[in-house]
Amino acid sequence: MPTMNEIARLAEVSLGTVSNVLNNSAKVREPLRRRVMDAVAALGYEPSELARGLRRDKTNMIGMIIPDITNPFFPAVVRGAEDAAFGSGYRLVLCNADNNQSKEIAYMTQLRTYLPTGILVIPSNFSEMTMQLGSSKRSGPVIVCLDRMPRHWKGDTVTVANEEGAVQATQHLIDLGHKHIATITGPLHLSGAHARLMGFRRALKQAAIQVPMEYVQESSFDRAGGYSAALGLLQMQPRPTAIFAQNDMIAMGVAMAIRELGLLCPRDVSLVGFDGLDVTELMDPPLASVMQPGYQLGAMGIQLLLERVKEPDRLFRHHVLPTTLRLGASIGPPPPVRPAKKTRSSAATKSKK
């Protein structure tokens, strides 16, 4: 790889002049500028970001840390971020923490040593991360949190209207006549999962519907978690007539469980998810889901980040993006009479309505 020195020699100018041409940092007269540009072209010179970053104390990269690249929601966010960053001349480098706390910390630490302009993080754990992030007081890379908000985090954030989304979904089920509504949450230490549960509770409370404790199951945000939580729920007495899965991966697991138990959706149990992934539209039946604007989430994250780079002292902002309920054949009215498996009494009381 050619260096600036070789350019300087070939163009017969000084090193400083080459730098000035390359960065427009000072006026350079046409003939010299020309010679430099020619030399650059002739040698195919590309500046070393390493050296440049070392000297300027900052590189043109923006780091992004996501919890799980195999959950299609995150790639959507990444794409939004990538487009926005690339458009502004920054290169997005992505790190997949794989839901692993130590990997997340390792990436956070490593990324820093590359002096990126900023870091966009979808945090997957709380306490540790907060400490790390805490040290972003005055200098170092700008950090923006996406999708989830660590407790005590003071900084820019973009999230979606989790609580409202959950209310929409739950309310819709209530409107259809469901009285036995269960939910499978994500890990409740995550702000989003917590908010969705709050929304679920709020909607039911407002409709004066009781929720048995065991109708709220905490799970990881993946298919396996949803599957096993659903197996449990679907064998309870009385069986819930609707399940609100707090993300689409969980909903997929629920769908598997439903199928496996020989039940039919939505005849026996309605199902609504959260994310609105493309792929869940093609499920059997098409999944109703609360749509999150993943692409915008990422794009907005980069926007906040770059604005803060420009004005480090502006007030912290917290953008909340709206969600919308996508209807789908996976929800319908509750079964007119709920079949009981064991208890005769429950079958009797049930028909009182």
22 binds, among DNA, a copy of itself, none (CB under 5 to 8 A by kind): DNA
> Is the Cβ of residue 62 or residue 197 nearer to a copy of itself in the bound state?
62
Which helix (H) or strand (E) segment holds residue 80: the answer is: helix 73-87
Within 10 Å of residue 291's Cβ, how many Cβ atoms? 18
- Decide: is 78 part of the binding site for a copy of itself (CB under 8 A): yes
Q: How many residues bind DNA (CB under 7 A)?
A: 31
- Decide: is 22 part of the binding site for a copy of itself (CB under 8 A): no
Which helix (H) or strand (E) segment holds residue 142: the answer is: strand 142-146
- Decide: is 15 part of the binding site for DNA (CB under 7 A): yes
Tell me the β-bridge partners of 152.
none
Within 10 Å of residue 72's Cβ, how many Cβ atoms? 16
Q: Taking contact as CB under 8 A, which single stretch among the options 72-80, 164-172, 179-187, 345-353 is the one that binds a copy of itself?
A: 72-80
- Decide: is 302 part of the binding site for a copy of itself (CB under 8 A): no
29 binds, among a copy of itself, DNA, none (CB under 5 to 8 A by kind): DNA
Q: Which of 10, 252, 288, 305 binds a copy of itself (CB under 8 A)?
A: 252
Take residue 57 and report the two structure tokens written for it.
Answer: 């104390």
Pairing of the two strands 288-291 and 324-326: antiparallel
Alpha-carbon span 348 to 353, nearest angstrom: 10
- Decide: is 16 part of the binding site for DNA (CB under 7 A): yes
Take residue 329 and report the two structure tokens written for it.
Answer: 């054949």
On whether the CB atoms of residues 174 and 203 are closer than 8 A, the answer is: yes
| DSSP class per residue in 175-229 | HTT---EEEEE--TTSHHHHHHHHHHHHHHHHTT----GGGEEE--SSHHHHHHH
> Is the Cβ of residue 23 or residue 109 nearer to a copy of itself in the bound state?
109
- Decide: is 98 part of the binding site for a copy of itself (CB under 8 A): yes
> Is the Cβ of residue 121 or residue 195 nearer to a copy of itself in the bound state?
121
Residue 166 Cβ vs a copy of itself, minimum distance, rounded to whole Å: 23
> Is the Cβ of residue 40 or residue 146 nearer to DNA in the bound state?
40
> Is the Cβ of residue 27 or residue 342 nearer to DNA in the bound state?
27
- Decide: is 278 part of the binding site for a copy of itself (CB under 8 A): yes
Q: Would you say the C-alpha torsion 228, 231, 237, 240 has a positive or negative sign? A: positive
> Phi, psi at residue 229, to the nearest 5°?
-60, -40
- Decide: is 268 part of the binding site for a copy of itself (CB under 8 A): no
Q: Which of 54, 279, 320, 337 binds DNA (CB under 7 A)?
A: 54
The residue type of 261 is: L
- Decide: is 32 part of the binding site for DNA (CB under 7 A): yes
- Decide: is 291 part of the binding site for a copy of itself (CB under 8 A): no
Q: Where are the beta strands (DSSP E) in 97-141?
A: 118-121
- Decide: is 214 part of the binding site for a copy of itself (CB under 8 A): no
Order of strands across the sheet that contains 324-326: 216-218, 181-185, 242-245, 270-275, 288-291, 324-326
Q: Which of 24, 41, 44, 55 binds DNA (CB under 7 A)?
A: 55
Within 10 Å of residue 263's Cβ, how many Cβ atoms? 13
- Decide: is 206 part of the binding site for a copy of itself (CB under 8 A): no
- Decide: is 2 part of the binding site for a copy of itself (CB under 8 A): no
> Phi, psi at residue 56, to the nearest 5°?
-90, -5
Query: Could you list the residues that contact a copy of itself (CB under 8 A)?
Result: 1, 46-51, 53-54, 59-61, 69-70, 72, 75-76, 78-79, 82-83, 86, 91-96, 98, 103, 106-107, 109-110, 112-115, 140, 223, 252, 255-256, 278-280, 282-286
Residues that bind DNA (CB under 7 A): 1, 3-5, 13-20, 22-23, 25-29, 31-32, 45, 47-48, 50-52, 54-57
